[in-house]
Structure 1
Amino acid sequence: MHKPLLHAKAAATHMATAALLCAAMLGIASTAHAADLKSGLKIAFVPKQINNPYEVIADDGGMAAIKDFKGVGKVVGPSDAGASSQVSYINTLITQQQDAIVIAANDANALVPYLKKAMSQGIKVVTFDSDTAPEGRQLFVNQANAESIGRGQIQLVAKLMGGEGEFAILSATPNATNQNTWIKWMQEELKKPEYSKMKLVKIAYGNDDDQKSFVETQGLLQAYPNLKAIVAPTSVGIAAAARYISTSSSKGKVAVTGLGTPNQMRAFVKNGTVKAFQLWDPGQLGYLAAYAAANLASGTITGKEGESFEAGKLGKRTIGANGEIILGPPTTFDASNIDNFNF
């Protein structure tokens, strides 16, 4: 009677030991996979513009990741967000034989020939935040699904303006890939019958310049006296619009929303100028882009759909269609939660 019990106990012990061994082996495999990254990788980040607060946070996230895997990182880029302003930096990085270039593109097509030249010389190219045409890079690290960002912006502004009235969009540059993709989805969402009483009267461009965005806001309010909301899917634009409206007679009458960082928007939420806005963590975006570049440069991935890699504290990530990697859904910030975030 006791023998079967002993056999059962022995079997259970054997299975538990096997499971522990298996788990240990998986742990070793996982660690080995993370350790497959080459040491001393030279990775350069090229932001849209070097002094853009959003880009600084994103680049800092990239540098933190590079420090994690003992690479050599640097940030170089233009002070303006012009279509061709990043070209000279790309050419210099090619000459310096960087292992990877991580770039937030100012233009979908203008940079492609130069990035192709980089790739032909063995330099890995990852776009993040703002993509090029697919032939200009191996991977694109996207904040969130572009469709959900665009549609989400309309859903939010509809709520803020009671589902009816005139509103305008204050974008970055006319060529900004990410802005244009989001706006396309915003216009698509607007076609739904529940938005039939809302009218998009103007798409203005502040060129990701604080003063120009400020002046464009003033112009919108003058041109459209019945305006009920401004949507700025750019961190420079939303802050400039909020700053103008916060000291104008439009405060409390014209809603300001879009995409911005909690730290730059906190004062405007506290003083009632802004009720709600959205964003992801740009630091995590840069962090993920750096790990994607390091894995490409180390040969642990090639950029094909379905491949996975370890991205430090962000865990395992999988490459989707067209070399796209998604960070995650955006967060809506308002007075109830803005003090929980610091970036």
Structure 2
Amino acid sequence: MFTSPRRFTSVVAMVGLVSLGLAACGGTTKESTSSQAPAAPAQTSATADPNAPIKEGLKVAFLPKQINNPYLTILDKAGIDAAAEYKGTAKEVGPSDASASSQVSYINTLIQQQQDAILISANDANAVCGPLNQARAKGIKVVSYDSDASKDCRDLFINQASSEDVGRSEVKMLADMIDHKGEIAVLSATANATNQNTWIEFMKDELTKPEYKDMKLVKVAYGDDDDQKSFQETQGLLQAYPNLKGIIAPTTVGIAAAARYVSGSKYKGKIVVTGLGTPNQMREFVKNGTVEKFALWNPKDLGYLASYAAASLVSGRITGAEGEKFTAGKLGEFTIGKDAEVILGPPFTFDANNIDDFDF
């Protein structure tokens, strides 16, 4: 069974990954857009009571970027299971596409249903702000996870890892596999995904360092977290850039699609594919030599943590203030950081030596 990345001591973990929120490059980032978001409702001066019990019967809802994303399905199910531990009820609702505005109608419905907390992996940091702040004005707690909403319209962000570490470590991992030389591309999710965009900005900054002087980022492509489009975008990258040496896909849908294309093409063994994926998606491609290594955190732990964080907010154990601490069931204690962010822990590198140890 896969345990929290925070507890991996017997295997080599990647440099801690991202404070995310992301899904692509070239779009707007949290920092550049949060000022455009609707103003948050006035906050109360409530104080946290860390000893308060979690209220029984809480209603929480997970709203992923899209409901047919295998990674988010794993994550949300873990959060739903966690709610049963604290005697609450939870569900997953959401769109089948990852467009910027696709989550808005679901937020409005959850408000009408008087949920105690809405947990959202945002497709667009700002497109969801209006309805999220309407929810907050009605006393509903808003927790973003995986891909952040603007900090002006959520109470807490559960980040899988440090965004800077995610972006920089992806470049370092690819660079090691191509001897720090050659053209590279990024296959992202949607152009507005906050986590992807944040990671990609750190990738670009990492590439400005002297040790990458012989590497060049030629393209950021967007597969919209759609398997077929990501497959086609991979094909397009390899046709447009005949000297391409590697592809970073910081999205579980994208890396699996890219590996599948390369695996069945003349590029196998010539193009390095890496990024963020789940072991079950990537096992075939690691074993057939298409992918040497890739990274991720445990999505089960991320969903579990997000669920307990939401319950702690609703129950008054925390308010979202920096420095507050709370216990997330079996995962132990966490501390809230700047901008109401909680980081799960460093990601983990998967390769042929360890991939069979994991099942998710």
TM-score, normalised to structure 1, is: 0.90
Question: How far apart in 2 are the matches of 1:195 and 1:172?
Answer: 25
2:44 equivalent in structure 1: none
Q: Aligned partner of 1:73: which letter?
A: A
1:223 equivalent in structure 2: 240
SS of aligned partner of 1:339: helix
Question: Identity over aligned residues, as a percent?
Answer: 66
**Structure 1: where are the runs of 5+ without partners?**
1-31
The answer to whether structure 1 residue 306 and structure 2 residue 323 are counterparts is: yes
Question: How far apart in 2 are the matches of 1:333 and 1:68?
Answer: 30
Residues 133-162 of structure 1, C-alpha deviations (whole Å, 9 max, x = no match): 101100000000000000000000001111
1:264 is displaced (CA, Å) by 0.4
Q: Aligned partner of 2:327: which letter?
A: E
Question: How far apart in 2 are the matches of 1:69 and 1:297?
Answer: 12
1:324 equivalent in structure 2: 341
SS of aligned partner of 1:131: coil
Residues 190-217 of structure 1, C-alpha deviations (whole Å, 9 max, x = no match): 0110000000000000000000000000
SS of aligned partner of 1:294: helix
Question: How far apart in 2 are the matches of 1:263 and 1:207?
Answer: 21
Residues 101-135 of structure 1, C-alpha deviations (whole Å, 9 max, x = no match): 00000001110111000000000000000001101
**Matched-pair contact (CA < 8 Å) for 2:51–2:317:** no
**Matched-pair contact (CA < 8 Å) for 1:303–1:323:** yes
1:18 equivalent in structure 2: none
Question: How far apart in 1 are the matches of 2:50 and 2:204?
Answer: 43
**Matched-pair contact (CA < 8 Å) for 1:172–1:234:** yes
Question: How far apart in 2 are the matches of 1:194 and 1:131?
Answer: 31
Dislocated runs of 4+, deviation >6 Å = none
Question: How far apart in 1 are the matches of 2:109 and 2:149?
Answer: 19
Question: How far apart in 1 are the matches of 2:127 and 2:274?
Answer: 30
**Matched-pair contact (CA < 8 Å) for 1:34–1:310:** no
SS of aligned partner of 1:228: strand
1:185 equivalent in structure 2: 202
1:287 equivalent in structure 2: 304
Structure 1 residues 103-252: aligned runs within 5 Å: 103-252=120-269
SS of aligned partner of 2:144: strand
1:315 is displaced (CA, Å) by 0.3
* Alignment match of 2:67 (pick from 44, 50, 56): 50
2:20 equivalent in structure 1: none
Q: CA RMSD in A?
A: 1.0
**Matched-pair contact (CA < 8 Å) for 2:183–2:216:** yes
The answer to whether structure 1 residue 38 and structure 2 residue 78 are counterparts is: no
Question: How far apart in 1 are the matches of 2:306 and 2:117?
Answer: 11
Larger radius of gyration: 1
1:67 is displaced (CA, Å) by 1.0
TM-score, normalised to structure 2, is: 0.86
1:35 is displaced (CA, Å) by 6.9
Bigger proportion of residues as helix: 1
Question: How far apart in 2 are the matches of 1:184 and 1:124?
Answer: 30
Judged with a 3 Å threshold, the aligned counterparts in structure 2 of structure 1 residues 35 and 264 are, in CA distance, closer, same or farther, namely farther
Residues 231-275 of structure 1, C-alpha deviations (whole Å, 9 max, x = no match): 000000000000000010000000000000011000000000000
Question: How far apart in 2 are the matches of 1:185 and 1:341?
Answer: 29
Question: How far apart in 1 are the matches of 2:213 and 2:77?
Answer: 42
2:9 equivalent in structure 1: none
The answer to whether structure 1 residue 268 and structure 2 residue 285 are counterparts is: yes
**Matched-pair contact (CA < 8 Å) for 2:59–2:88:** yes
Higher relative contact order (CA 8 A, sep 6+): 2
